[in-house]
Amino acid sequence: MKNLTKRFGHLSVLDRINLQIHDNEFIGLLGPSGSGKTTLLRILAGLELADDGAVEIGGRDSRTLSLEERRIGFVFQHYALFNHMTVFQNVAFGLQVKPRHARKSASAIKQRVRELLALVQLKAFEDRFPVQLSGGQRQRVALARTLAIEPKVLLLDEPFGALDAKVRVELRRSLREIHDTAGLTTVFVTHDQEEALDLADRVAIMNRGIIEQVGTPLEVYDAPKSPFIFDFLGHTNSFDCVVRGGKAYVGENELPLDKTIRDGPAVAFVRPHDVLLAPTDGPQGKTGTRLPGTARVRFISALGQRATTELLYERRLIEAEMTRQSLQDLELRVGSKCKISLRHARVYARQEVEEQTRVAERAAVRPRKRRRLRDRLPTLR
């Protein structure tokens, strides 16, 4: 993708997008609603045209390639299955409508469809209709139908959005196996951070029509380039601090800095598992930066081996995660007071954080304005 730009009226949906996707790569387009992910995917599929820029496949402008030369398969968010056809007929459809000179024999089509149904674990369901299937099974049919035309590039738009949590986990494991087995290049759109970080070789994080960062799941999670990325990828706590002489301070306690920040007000972002708790009458741990004062426990949730604690600290709520054993050792209860230390904090200038918040608020207002105008359209006519 080279300098892709797309506008709808005065609204810029994509702003000079540049991204190279490698052969056999599994890449996720991750971002909040309205960031331009699906529009970008539709341009890749040829379903939308960019206002500026180009998409090249194998070094050739995609606009000069026929559909057969592109070899792109698209799995829609709501599957788009033919309800009057059986599972077998749905999967076979793309093979049966090919031009006569490119069409396989009926026996070859039958063999190919059954191979695909075995691949997606639906061989026993070939005579059922879509309405007789669960959401996860319909998703597998849509995937098999797309794979039937032997695409080189597989595009998926929110592939697991309508499924429950357990089925989502099972299907994404299957999808990764299918990607590796079929030798595909896969691009999928999602707003689910866990899904993208679990599946993808690389993640492109989009916000307001631009790509803010591209990298492996570990790179974007451990070294986010902006406060938006840090805040978007998982739960986040924020603490006011100040930068003086190239060092960040919470009260009089120093926070390690991993980059140069101009002196002035700043904000430290910390993941819940990097918030360390200690009893008020016990020794302070050796790791982390101690916060002044104490916090009060407001809520505790202990499920499985992990425990989450919600605390009130200086009139703001913060979240800490630990093992259930650590929680028992601390002997914390709702109403208990404790000391807090921070580790692996990432510091950003307050001006940068506030600008991100202002932009997000403006983006949230725009859809409401459009809906109000749309509601008035019948009267205007």
- pLDDT, tens digit, 9 for 90 and up, residues 49-79: 899 999 998 888 888 888 778 888 888 877 7
- Nearest CA to 198 out of 20, 35, 22, 28 is that of 28
Question: How many domains in the chain?
Answer: 2
pLDDT, position 195: 85
SS3 state of residue 377: helix
Q: Are residues 139 and 10 in the same domain?
A: yes
pLDDT, position 187: 93
- pTM to 2 decimals? 0.78
pLDDT, position 257: 81
Q: Are residues 238 and 174 in the same domain?
A: no
Residue 156, domain extent: 2-226
pLDDT, position 378: 45
pLDDT, position 360: 59
What is the rounded distance in angstroms from the CA atom of residue 95 to the CA atom of residue 204? Answer: 33
Q: Please say whether the beta carbons of 28 and 190 come within 8 A.
A: yes
What separation, in Å, do the N-terminal and C-terminal C-alpha atoms of the chain show? 41
CATH of the domain at 317: 2.40.50.100
What is the rounded distance in angstroms from the CA atom of residue 366 to the CA atom of residue 109? Answer: 49
Q: Are residues 210 and 317 in the same domain?
A: no
The predicted-structure confidence for 190-215, as pLDDT tens digits, reads as follows: 888 888 888 899 999 999 899 999 99
What is the rounded distance in angstroms from the CA atom of residue 286 to the CA atom of residue 339? Answer: 13
pLDDT, position 158: 83
Q: Which of the residues in the chain have pLDDT under 70? A: 161-164, 282-286, 357-381
Q: Which two tokens stand for residue 158?
A: 């929110």
Q: Are residues 216 and 184 in the same domain?
A: yes
Q: Are residues 106 and 16 in the same domain?
A: yes
pLDDT, position 88: 92
